[in-house]
Amino acid sequence: MSEQDRISLLRQELHAHNHAYYVLNAPTISDREFDALMVELAELEARHPELADPNSPTQRVGSDLSNDFPTFEHRRPMLSLANTYNRQDVADFFNRVREGLGGEDFEICCELKFDGLSISLHYEHGRLVRAVTRGDGVRGDDVTPNVRTIRSIPLQLEPGSWPDEFEIRGEVLMPWTSFERLNREREQREEPLFANPRNAASGTLKSKTTAVVAERRLDAYLYYLLTDDPAPDAAHYELLQQARQWGFKVSTDMRKCSTLDEVMAYIDHWDEARRSLPVATDGIVLKVNSLRQQRALGLTAKSPRWAIAYKFQAEQQSTVLREVTFQVGRTGVVTPVANMDAVQLSGTVVRRATLHNADFMRQLDLHQGDHVLVEKGGEIIPKIVGVDEAFAGLPRGPRIEFAKVCPECGTPLVQADGEAAIYCPNDLRCPPQIKGRIEHFVSRRAMGIDSLGPETIDDFFRAGLIHDVADLYDITPDQINGRDGTRQKSAQRAIAGIAASRDVPFERVLFALGIRFVGETAARTLARHFGDIDTLAAASLDDLLRVDGIGLATAQSLHSWFADADNAMLIERLRSHGLQMSISGEAEAARSTRLEGKTVVISGVFERHSRDEYKRLIELHGGVNAGSISRKTSFVLAGANMGPAKLEKAQKLGVPLISESDFLAMTGEA
């Protein structure tokens, strides 16, 4: 078998395994076997760049390229549904349909209303060619590169009788497990939490870095199929059953109902049962099943007459606010927490709720002893939504004010201009900040010292063994094996874990330092751009702002952090302990300064070198790689099949296109 045939076969197999795992929930091979096939395919594709295919399974993992989200006009407008929270409105809708059809029999397809971001997927010859958000209903954002990372969306359809060209619409979602994990990580980094999975999914799908989208593990359910020439007797429910056979993830909880009582029974069932679903839902969608009858009923200016959405009421309870306490995080940000009388909410007992920040507290105008209304944002995060007006006539206690000094160390709190967060500036001596930074440093995604948990770090801190992250590398087994030596094994594991962390790559070391606003993606970008800690530390504010993806807040935070003498001393101590302070495998010596001061964007497929090799050549000749075209772009290194969005933007901004051969001549690499 030729390598070309093997690539084709592997792609077919991996698409089938993806479908079995992510759509059918019935994997046919182990993760290890799947990974081995993926590695083989990636190696073959690397040897044959001429066979590059954006729909290959290897392209789902995402890259560091930025997308500019060109808009695309919908062939058929994406209308919003009329919403109701009232069962009488559901009955009125049912009766309007009956009257509109002149008494003709009809069926209502009842389906769950998934709480995510609407998406329109376009397929040609069985292959995904475009993914567009709802936008304003007429035009949406083309987010195809990001959607390709969602494993439940087929890139190549299963064999079947699908039309040669069609559109299928659905909802991009963030499952509860992904949402909880994401918010835990954001909380550890003291970044604002997403209020619900819908906001998280929307923010993720609009990310300019496909690697972020892939990492957050979005999901998608498809709920409406559109073709140019449907059969005269085509019906919505039956079309979706066909779509499932082609490889689309379609809910198995759809039901056809012939009477209003059946519709109400479906609503009653899912008002409770939805709480056990793996994704967020916020209601029920009712659609006339027959496409012929849909056309007969027609549309209003904003919504179809043949469909309506019934929205579930958010569960809300009243309880008494006893006090507000203040928590200090690892970067010093102080978060107010409401402590309330226990109340049952969505199946759990709630006693505490975050109040986010001082602005949020002022908006609520909270007083001690107030009766407050509590609900769960996204049905998982308890939040106070207001004061219960039913108790408005009662005397109120004193107004609750935000803390003026740090509750842990007594330092006066500060607030930066333009920021909602209030924080303790005593980062070197405030215990929660010290311990929080160390916990972040040892975490799995940073230095990966799994043998040290929060309790162990607290023990070490109380014993005076650690005051910063560099102290970890001075610990000896005798100091932590217990007074009688009974903790010898755990001490050995801890010391071994600390020693192994010396091999952690530079980009993770940079993330582990816990610099405000520097998450994993920013750390990776900075490490690859500057190459080593010294070059990064010496960078000016303008140097930092020239890095693609680094904004003003991050640049200012970095500049201030490296200007601090204590942080400079910390870096030297970590360096003396052998931590990686540069990209592993020392960077090659610069070959020239021919591209110095130039920012280059790479787009397309090349013959002489891979894209990664061209990125390396740009850096070796003094240039800067960027993922998206802007007014700062000096030129685009343009290969075959350059993306139409990048081509259009380059032309609009007057950015020149340089061919592969001209680039090699320009750099002396020809």
Active site members: 113
Cβ burial of 463 (10 Å; 0-12, 13-18, 19+) is exposed
Nearest to 321 by CA among 345, 342, 339: 339
> How far is residue 125's CA from residue 106's CA, in Å, rounded to a whole number?
34
Contact indicator for 428, 566 with CB cutoff of 8 Å: yes
Nearest to 60 by CA among 218, 248, 214: 214
The phi, psi pair for 270, rounded to 5°, reads: -80, -15
Whole-Å CA distances, 395 to 322, 390, 641? 15, 13, 71
Nearest to 670 by CA among 599, 613, 662: 662
> How far is residue 464's CA from residue 474's CA, in Å, rounded to a whole number?
12
Joined tokens for residue 215 = 């990492």
Residue 504: DSSP 8-state: S
Joined tokens for residue 74 = 């919908």
Contact indicator for 443, 462 with CB cutoff of 8 Å: no
> How far is residue 257's CA from residue 255's CA, in Å, rounded to a whole number?
6
Residue reference for tokens 């209903």: 137
Joined tokens for residue 550 = 């680094």
User: Going by C-beta distance under 8 Å and a sequence separation of 6 or more, which residues neighbour residue 658?
Assistant: 635, 636, 637, 638, 666
Joined tokens for residue 104 = 């003709």
Residue reference for tokens 């479906």: 266
Provide the CA 113 distance to its chain's centre, in angstroms: 21
Angle at 177 between CA 171 and CA 179, to 5 degrees: 65
| Local structure of 33: helix, strand or coil | helix
Neighbours of 588 (CB within 10 A): 10
Angle at 149 between CA 147 and CA 154, to 5 degrees: 75
Q: How many residues does the chain have?
A: 670
Contact indicator for 631, 553 with CB cutoff of 8 Å: no
Joined tokens for residue 201 = 């999914």
Q: How many CA atoms lie within 13 A of 445 on its CB side?
A: 16
Beta bridge partners of 117: 172
